[in-house]
């Protein structure tokens, strides 16, 4: 039997949740700063309100519930799950006040989509949105992609508590011996890429004729949503707003870098360039992108034979990159995906979205390392059946270091794989129940659960509330990779009768 | 390029009358209008973008969330004064042009190559009114936050002393 949460456990959970809410209160100061720069006074008031509300809520909780010693595993997992829901509700406040959302649930949907780095949107009239609100949408992507807990690790989680809460946010790899150092490294890498790509994108935007202040505003937003594989954009048309092949190439590069494991980034940053060619996950990821792009392209060309090669390649390759990395940026529109991508191509796009990027990256989905491990196990099984009975077969792979394949790794990977596929199907069943065609429902459900953001048009402000809630849950579950959610459910039951 | 545009213009005006459509219709039933002359009306939004001799604008339906890119000439750009954004209502334009779902000139973009651009309503800048109720609420929250902050710190220092 799984042990019940004790009163001390609950105290610890609420205390640290309160601290993370205080952190959000301070994070609201950044969009407030943007509002002041652009002289957007009503949005400024909204951010002041959101900040004060979060701070008072956070201080109230920390006052009521005392600090305790180190967190245990179940507390760490519960905090990780709970805080994502609370951030969704609080992050939605300024969005709802902006007047760009029909209902508060729509703002919550957008907020969860941003924090979970999904990229599905329910915003209305985005093109007239204030810079500060738009900045907040993208900044939420950045916070969520980097990890809410990861940010907390830099500030107030220390000692044994740190690793327990770090794992709760679907991160297992310790790039450096200490998770706090790992968190620092992830933030340093991200900030370095931010400076590089904001400069590149900013100057490309200026070259395209956009005024410097807006060019760099676009650049910051596009980088934050791209690097953290969220896929939000400043305008309704997403990346097709720019009508530029160069922007397509730069954003592709950003999202591929974002979808790579931070372990691989660390290896390259420390001069181990050979790791790129040796890394098993990277090889599987590259191979999968090439294969799925080719198959999607093949189906597309067969159906729409009169389109030239460059156009077909640009259209299909960008969607596969976007789907596979989990960013959800698109240089076409949902109607185009629905009307011109044949079912054959949509199936491979769904597979790309479902598989996702690399482990310990900002992308969602099953993750390539797990897929690779299952393929290795399959190879091992085939070898076993075709070898003499007494032969002991050991499979190895290289991921930062040489690792022997173990049953425990296979078990974990298989469970996660099954859970993802079940959730993709569950969401598509709800969609089908509400009257949408199965393939489109599967597409949208996979996009939500794998935190991608590509859409065939089901996601819009007029979709049924049941589907909005389904996708919110899928985005949340998909981002945290199930385990901490199950512990959180146990926590909810404990609230009724703590031991 | 000019000759082609001229021929397209002749073709449009005399041989194939343009059909007035909503931007939504170009997305939902795009195939019906592929490669044909169309007339669309919408608000100019965002930024003017330009590469070489051509200029890009994006126009959005006034009442619905549908927008499309339009390639216009440098001369037509001068007619547009307001680009829609926060606190700015963009000019409402009537575009007569050729609709492409996979434009061969622009690597498969969905766009309209404008032949005629007409401003039908000038855009305008507007001011936002401050929401007094929210300001009062913020002042109340400042008080509550400060009290809670004080209590929280007091509790922390008490616990530290106890340890």
Closest CA in chain A for residue B24: A335
* CB contacts, 8 Å: B55 with chain A: 209
Cα–Cα dist A412/A408, whole Å: 6
Residue whose structure tokens are 């949005």: A43
Q: Point out the least confidently predicted range of A17-26, A305-314, A425-434, A472-481.
A: A305-314
User: Cα A54 to the chain's mean position, in Å?
Assistant: 24
What digits encode the pLDDT tens for the residues B78-135? 999 999 999 999 999 999 999 999 998 998 899 999 999 999 999 999 988 899 999 9
Quote the percentage of chain B above a pLDDT of 90.
Answer: 72
Q: What is the mean pLDDT of residues A29-54?
A: 97
Residue positions counted in chain B? 163
What digits encode the pLDDT tens for the residues A60-97? 999 888 876 677 788 888 888 999 999 999 999 999 99
Strands B124-125 and B67-72: unpaired
Closest listed residue to residue A448, CA positions, set A109, A80, A81 = A109
Closest CA in chain A for residue B103: A311
Cα–Cα dist A115/A145, whole Å: 7
Closest CA in chain A for residue B152: A63
How many helices (H) does chain A have, and how many strands (E)? Answer: 22, 2
Range 13-52 of A in CB contact (< 8 A) with B = 38, 40-42, 45-46, 48-49, 52
Q: How many CB atoms lie within 10 A of CB B2?
A: 7
**Nearest CA distance, B3 vs chain A (angstrom):** 24
b/e sequence A316-342, b meaning 16+ C-beta within 10 Å: bbbbbbbbbbbbbbbbbbbbbbbbbbe
Q: How many CB atoms lie within 10 A of CB B161?
A: 7
ipTM for the complex? 0.88
Q: Is A340 on the interface with B (CB under 8 A)?
A: yes
Q: What is the mean pLDDT of residues A186-194?
A: 92
A214, B47: Cβ pair inside 8 Å?
yes
b/e sequence A206-228, b meaning 16+ C-beta within 10 Å: eebebeeebbbbbbbbbbbbbbb
* CB contacts, 8 Å: B148 with chain A: 55-56, 59-60, 63
Residue A12 has what pLDDT? 84
What digits encode the pLDDT tens for the residues A246-256? 999 999 999 99
* pLDDT value at A162 more than 80: no
Q: Point out the least confidently predicted range of A60-69, A356-365, A406-415.
A: A60-69
Task: Quote the DSSP letter at residue B15.
Answer: I
Token code pair at residue B27: 């997305």
Residue A8 has what pLDDT? 77
Q: What is the mean pLDDT of chain A?
A: 91
**Beta strands of A96-151 (E only): which ranges?**
none
Cα–Cα dist B55/A45, whole Å: 38
Q: Is A83 on the interface with B (CB under 8 A)?
A: no
Strands B109-121 and B92-103: antiparallel
Closest listed residue to residue A376, CA positions, set A419, A353, A409 = A409
Q: Is A156 on the interface with B (CB under 8 A)?
A: no
Q: Which of B69, B103, B144 sits opposite A56 (nearest CB)?
A: B144
**Nearest CA distance, B21 vs chain A (angstrom):** 17
Closest CA in chain B for residue A305: B102
Cα–Cα dist A413/A425, whole Å: 18
* CB contacts, 8 Å: B87 with chain A: 130
Q: What is the mean pLDDT of residues A282-292?
A: 96
Whole-structure pTM value: 0.92
**Does residue A83 contact residue A201 with C-beta atoms inside 8 Å?**
no
A307, B148: Cβ pair inside 8 Å?
no
Token code pair at residue A137: 């949408």
DSSP A329-347: --SS-HHHHHHHS-HHHHH
**Does residue A100 contact residue A129 with C-beta atoms inside 8 Å?**
yes
Token code pair at residue A296: 């999607």
Q: Is A243 on the interface with B (CB under 8 A)?
A: yes
Q: pLDDT-derived band of residue B15, with 50, 70 and 90 as boundaries?
A: low
Q: pLDDT-derived band of residue A115, with 50, 70 and 90 as boundaries?
A: very high
Token code pair at residue A245: 């092949």
Cα–Cα dist A422/A282, whole Å: 26
Best A59, A136, A305, A313 residue to mutate vs chain B (most B CBs within 10 Å): A59
Helices assigned H by DSSP within chain B? 2-10, 23-28, 30-33, 74-77, 132-162
How many helices (H) does chain B have, and how many strands (E)? Answer: 5, 8
A208, B50: Cβ pair inside 8 Å?
yes
Strands B88-89 and A401-404: unpaired
Closest listed residue to residue B145, CA positions, set A53, A61, A49 = A53
Q: pLDDT-derived band of residue B13, with 50, 70 and 90 as boundaries?
A: low
């Amino acid at each position: 039997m799984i042990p019940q949460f004790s009163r001390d456990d609950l105290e610890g959970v609420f205390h640290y949740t309160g601290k993370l809410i205080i952190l959000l209160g301070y994070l609201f100061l950044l969009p407030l700063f943007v509002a002041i720069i652009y002289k957007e006074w009503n949005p400024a008031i909204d951010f002041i309100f959101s900040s004060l509300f979060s701070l008072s809520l956070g201080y109230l909780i920390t006052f009521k519930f005392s600090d305790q010693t180190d967190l245990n595993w179940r507390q760490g997992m519960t905090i990780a799950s709970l805080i994502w829901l609370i951030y969704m509700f609080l992050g939605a406040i300024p969005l709802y006040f902006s007047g760009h959302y029909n209902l508060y649930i729509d703002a919550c949907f957008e907020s969860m989509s941003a924090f979970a780095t999904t990229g599905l949107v329910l915003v209305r009239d985005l093109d007239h949105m204030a810079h500060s609100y738009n900045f907040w949408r993208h900044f939420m992507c950045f916070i969520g992609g980097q990890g809410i807990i990861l940010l907390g690790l830099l500030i107030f989680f220390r000692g044994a508590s740190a690793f327990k809460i770090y794992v709760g946010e679907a991160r297992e790899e310790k790039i450096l011996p200490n998770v706090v150092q790992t968190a620092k490294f992830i933030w340093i890498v991200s900030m370095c890429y931010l400076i590089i790509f904001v400069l590149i994108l900013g100057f490309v935007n200026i070259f395209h004729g956009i005024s410097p202040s807006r060019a760099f505003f676009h650049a910051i937003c596009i980088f934050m949503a791209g690097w953290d594989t969220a896929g939000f954009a400043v305008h309704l048309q997403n990346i097709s707003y720019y009508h530029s092949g160069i922007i397509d190439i730069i954003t592709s590069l950003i999202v591929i870098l974002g979808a790579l494991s931070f372990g691989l980034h660390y290896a390259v940053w420390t001069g181990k360039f050979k790791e790129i060619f040796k890394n098993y996950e990277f090889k599987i990821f590259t191979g999968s992108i090439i294969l799925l792009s080719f198959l999607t392209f093949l189906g597309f060309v067969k159906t729409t034979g009169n389109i030239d090669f460059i156009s077909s390649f640009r259209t299909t390759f960008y969607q596969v990159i976007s789907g596979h990395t989990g960013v959800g940026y698109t240089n076409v529109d949902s109607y185009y995906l629905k009307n011109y991508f044949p079912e054959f191509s949509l199936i491979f796009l769904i597979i790309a979205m479902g598989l996702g990027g690399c482990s310990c990256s900002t992308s969602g989905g099953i993750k390539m390392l797990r897929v690779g491990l299952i393929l290795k196990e399959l190879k091992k099984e085939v070898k076993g059946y075709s070898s003499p009975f007494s032969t002991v077969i050991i499979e190895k792979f290289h991921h930062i270091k040489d690792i022997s394949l173990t049953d425990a790794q296979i078990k974990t990977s298989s469970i996660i794989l099954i859970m993802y596929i079940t959730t993709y199907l569950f969401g598509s069943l709800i969609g089908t129940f509400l009257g949408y065609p199965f393939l489109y429902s599967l597409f949208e459900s996979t996009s939500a659960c794998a935190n991608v953001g590509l859409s065939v048009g089901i996601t819009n402000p007029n979709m049924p509330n049941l589907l909005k809630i389904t996708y919110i849950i899928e985005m949340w579950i998909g981002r945290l990779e199930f385990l901490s959610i199950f512990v959180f459910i146990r926590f909810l039951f404990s609230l009724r009768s703590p031991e | 390029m000019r000759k082609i545009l001229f021929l397209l213009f002749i073709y449009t005006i005399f041989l194939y009358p343009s059909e007035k459509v909503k931007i939504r219709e170009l997305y939902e039933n795009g195939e019906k209008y592929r490669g044909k002359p169309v007339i669309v009306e919408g608000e100019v939004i965002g930024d003017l973008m330009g590469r070489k001799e051509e200029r890009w604008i994006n126009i959005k339906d006034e009442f619905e969330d549908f927008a499309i890119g339009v390639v216009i000439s440098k001369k037509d750009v001068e007619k547009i004064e307001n680009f829609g954004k926060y606190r700015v209502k963009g000019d409402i334009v009537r575009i007569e042009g050729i609709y492409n779902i996979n434009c061969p000139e622009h690597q498969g973009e969905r766009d309209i190559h404008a032949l005629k651009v007409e401003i039908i309503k000038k855009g305008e800048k507007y001011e936002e009114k401050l929401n007094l109720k929210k300001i009062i609420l913020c002042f109340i929250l400042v008080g509550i936050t400060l009290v809670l902050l004080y209590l929280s710190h007091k509790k922390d220092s008490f616990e530290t002393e106890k340890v």
